[in-house]
Amino acid sequence: MENASGYGTWKGIHPVVQLSRTAYEKGGAVAKEAMRAVESRLERNPILPRWDTVIRSARTV
């Protein structure tokens, strides 16, 4: 079941999934300012804050 994520829907919306084969360096650090930008887009579920997180898309203006 290689591309199983593309078959389901959530609230009637099909997910957009892309596989990235890019190898990233392990143990790299992210600057605090860059991390704040990502964290500002996170919406955590109060019941399962570590596992149920929605990442809002970045606004492109």
Partners of 23 in beta bridges: none
Give which of 44, 47, 24 is closest to 56, Cα–Cα.
Answer: 44
Give the tens place of pLDDT for each residue, 1-60.
455 555 677 778 877 778 889 988 888 888 999 999 888 999 988 888 888 888 888 775
- Torsion angle of C-alpha atoms 34, 32, 36, 27, degrees rounded to 10: 70
55 close to 39: Cβ distance less than 8 angstroms: no
pTM, rounded to two decimals: 0.42
